[in-house]
């Protein structure tokens, strides 16, 4: 698969014909100046009136866009995990949602002895780092206490990974109190 490049440049301003603050006149002047600079150091010279390559996204812009996409996905995933945990804690049923490329399912069960079980199913192709990010997003669970492939009363289906942990009872109570308010 080839590298996808950006081809979108955006510029905006007020058109004030004849005014020294006319954005479009300033943009044309900038393009003419860029053409002059380009032609002073390159051969063959450009024959166009302007040179606007400097307005196009560069590698730094593309890297920032990729980072923003990752951050957007992480925020969506963390919000999803929190919502699924709260909903499952409130109703005792498995809650699930499709995310980008995989499905996330959460089952939270509380027992009378105040032990709260959390089961996470990740269905689809995800990296170890993505799994770790999902598990880190579960509130009230110790990072190093997740057990792989353990979910009571059910077998693992093809294409899924299961993790389980115990949730801190104070965190569960807080989630219940705040979840009931939402």
pLDDT of residue 1: 39
52-79 per-position pLDDT tens digit: 888 888 899 889 999 999 899 899 999 9
Over residues 102-120, the pLDDT tens digits come to 999 999 988 766 789 899 9
Q: Are 119 and 163 in contact (CB under 8 A)?
A: yes
pLDDT band at 181 (very low <50, low <70, confident <90, very high): low
Q: Residue 141 phi/psi, 5° resolution?
A: -115, 135
CB 35 within 8 A of CB 46: yes
């Amino acid at each position: 698969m080839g590298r996808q490049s950006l081809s979108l440049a955006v510029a905006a301003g007020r058109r004030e014909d004849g005014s020294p603050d006319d954005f479009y006149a300033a943009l044309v002047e900038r393009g003419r100046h860029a053409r002059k600079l380009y032609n002073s150091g390159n051969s063959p010279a450009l024959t166009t009136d302007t040179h606007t390559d400097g307005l196009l996204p560069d590698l730094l812009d593309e890297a920032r866009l990729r980072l923003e996409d990752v951050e957007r996905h992480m925020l969506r995933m963390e919000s999803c995990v929190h919502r699924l945990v709260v909903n499952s804690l409130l109703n005792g049923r498995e809650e699930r949602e499709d995310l980008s490329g995989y499905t996330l399912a959460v089952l939270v069960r509380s027992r009378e002895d105040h032990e709260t079980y959390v089961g996470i199913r990740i269905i689809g192709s995800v990296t170890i780092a993505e799994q770790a990010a999902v598990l880190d997003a579960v509130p009230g669970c110790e990072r190093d206490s997740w057990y792989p492939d353990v979910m009571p009363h059910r077998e693992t289906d093809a294409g899924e990974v299961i993790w389980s942990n115990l949730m801190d009872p104070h965190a569960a109570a807080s989630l219940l109190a705040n979840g009931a308010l939402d």
